[in-house]
Amino acid sequence: MKKILMVLVLGGCLLSGSLLIAGADKKEAAQAYDEDTYGPEAPIVWVKPVKSVVFEHKIHTMDAGLACDSCHDDLFEMESGAAEEKDDFTMATLYKGGYCGSCHDGSTSFASNTRCASCHIGVRGHDRLNNKGGTATKSH
Ligand code: HEC
Ligand code: HEC
Ligand code: HEC
């Protein structure tokens, strides 16, 4: 994810045309969102088995108030991409209460067999994130 963050920051530089302005932007973002408290700011995006599913720490920690240990390390490792290396990272497992389905079961939060597009941003969403991710995820 570090790499993606770099790309976003570099992208910001190109857009603003100035390293100084990009630096200021970065400081502001750091104040608004504290990664130590809420987990990584950059969205986690999986492309296996399907492209693309997105996960945002901010929605879960800062907004929904979940503690780190409600997911780490029982449901997820603290390593982006780890889950998608596993064969059971599928809807069938979610429906049985695994991974995201541990909460996205229709009681703690919306069920995994509804609102597909909330998690599945698809190929177009993936491209959007990679091209101008920083701004795309800043809506409050
Ligand atoms: C609702 C579930 C959930 C909560 C709560 C949560 N995380 Fe995560 N976290 C994830 C998922 C999912 C991943 C990606 C794992 C994967 O791809 O296999 C992840 C990955 C990470 C990573 C690795 C990022 C990278 O780029 O490799 C770090 C660091 C992390 N989380 C820190 C935290 C911290 C700190 C907290 C508490 C403030 C927290 N997480 C709370 C679900 C959660
Ligand atoms: C520990 C419980 C928990 C886990 C695990 C979890 N979520 Fe969530 N998720 C929530 C809660 C709580 C909300 C806040 C919305 C709500 O109250 O329904 C939320 C909200 C979301 C939203 C925002 C929907 C919207 O637009 O309002 C998305 C998208 C989402 N989760 C995706 C995921 C994905 C993908 C995973 C697995 C990688 C995951 N979540 C794992 C509890 C969880
Ligand atoms: C709470 C988040 C979430 C919701 C809601 C969700 N999915 Fe998924 N989906 C995932 C995750 C996580 C994966 C595995 C990662 C990947 O494939 O990129 C996945 C994978 C898949 C796959 C490939 C693996 C498999 O099971 O065959 C399909 C197809 C799929 N989802 C369809 C759907 C459909 C259709 C809906 C709505 C009825 C839906 N998903 C709703 C999170 C979600």
Rounded Cα–Cα distance for residues 43 and 62 (Å): 14
Rounded Cα–Cα distance for residues 7 and 13 (Å): 10
Tell me, what's the pLDDT at 131? 79
Read off the pTM. 0.85
**Tens of pLDDT, residues 111-125:** 999 999 999 999 899
Q: Domain locations in the chain?
A: 37-136
CB 4 within 8 A of CB 12: no
Tell me, what's the pLDDT at 32? 80
Distance of CA 118 from the midpoint of ligand 1 (Å): 18
37-136: CATH number: 3.90.10.10
**Tens of pLDDT, residues 57-110:** 999 999 999 999 999 999 999 999 999 999 999 999 999 999 999 999 999 999
Q: Specify the higher pLDDT residue, 117 or 6.
A: 117
Tell me, what's the pLDDT at 72? 98
**Tens of pLDDT, residues 14-52:** 444 444 444 445 555 545 899 999 999 999 999 999 999
90-94: long-range contacts (C-beta < 8 A, 24 or more apart)?
Answer: 90/49
CB 112 within 8 A of CB 93: no
Determine the residue of 37, 57, 88, 119 to mutate for testing ligand 1's pocket, defined as the one with the most ligand atoms within 8 A of the Cβ atom: 57
* Ligand 3 neighbours (beta carbon < 6 A): 46-50, 53, 84, 89-92, 94, 100, 104, 112-113, 115-116, 118-120
